Amino acid sequence: MKAEYPEFLGSMKVRAYGFPGVRQTRWIKAKHHITTDEVIDQVKYADAIGRTAWPVELHNALEGFVWETFDGEHTHYIPSAEMTSPDADNLAAVDRCIDGDPTVLSSVRVMGPCMAQGMAAAHALDLAGSGSVQQIDIGALQSRISDNLTRTDGVAP
């Protein structure tokens, strides 16, 4: 790039290659805070909107990381209550913004669970319409996103 744009980048110097930072910076205080014990115990919430078997892979410190895999039968669930704050009517958080222990978030913020959360959030807001996400019919939401909870063949509909 320096050769292509010498007047713009010719004297540029790289001070550092990347700045390690804090991975988890902001999240909501939701109706439910998912804990590591709930993941390990495979709690299936009445308001589940997704599931995963992804291991815990927390690497938030320079000293080391946590890597905990589960057996082949393990499945843990994501409740809709971790996406919604009791103080907001038209907000549904997903990915790094949900409410949970950092260890739990390392498992549920990977691509598959994030897609399930995004799908659930979009449908929850659609069901709420001009009302509140606090008052949606969870059964109707789960019906709309049933693939997130039941599909096992890996084939899209």
How far apart are the C-alpha atoms of 24 and 48, rounded to whole Å?
23
pLDDT score, position 95: 86
Q: What percentage of the chain reaches a pLDDT higher than 90?
A: 48
pLDDT in tens, 80-111: 999 999 999 999 999 888 998 888 888 888 88
- pLDDT of 15 strictly over 80: no
Residues 6+ apart with CB under 8 A from 50: 77, 78, 108, 113, 116, 117, 120, 145, 148, 149
Q: Residue 62 — pLDDT band, cuts 50, 70, 90? A: low
User: For 24-50, what is the mean pLDDT?
Assistant: 89
Handedness of CA 38, 42, 46, 49 (dihedral sign): positive
- pLDDT of 23 strictly over 90: no
Overall pTM > 0.85: no
